[in-house]
Amino acid sequence: MPLWAVQGDPNTHGDGALIATNPQTVFIWNIPIIVHSPDHAVPDDDCPGFGHCDPMTAQGSPNVFAYNIPVHRQDDLRICGALTVVVNQNNVFVNEGGEGTGGEEGEANTDTEAEL
């Protein structure tokens, strides 16, 4: 089961730390959570290549939401083709849920392996 991404988590292309642009009222270990709104990121190591100067989220959970937006997880895609690497928390997991979503509506799944 993948970890839930939080602010500062990098991508597989090097750096690309995520920036929470959501309302920032949900936290894991006092770090703002990341959702596929899309949330933005600092440039990664492949900037100025396409999508690398703001490697924002490109995927989210198909059925777990925060702020009515799909949550972003370990190994979810970024617009540059990189995957998110969760390094800033290690105990809040989100569904494995297949391919993820670009933002379709659905029912929230509140089952997690840790309390928020």
pLDDT digits (tens, 9 = 90+) for 13-67: 999 999 999 999 999 999 999 999 989 999 999 999 999 999 999 999 999 999 9
Give the pLDDT confidence score for residue 95 in this predicted structure: 86
Per-residue pLDDT tens for 64-101?
999 999 999 999 999 999 999 999 999 999 987 555 55
Q: Kindly list the structural domains of the chain, giving each domain's residue range(s) and its CATH number in brackets, ordered by start.
A: 1-89 (2.60.200.60)
Length of the chain: 116
Q: What token pair was written down for 75?
A: 């190994």
Residue 102 clears pLDDT 90, i.e. is over it:
no
What DSSP string describes 66-79? ETTEEBPBTT-BBT
Owner of token pair 């770090």: 31
Q: State if pTM tops 0.85.
A: no
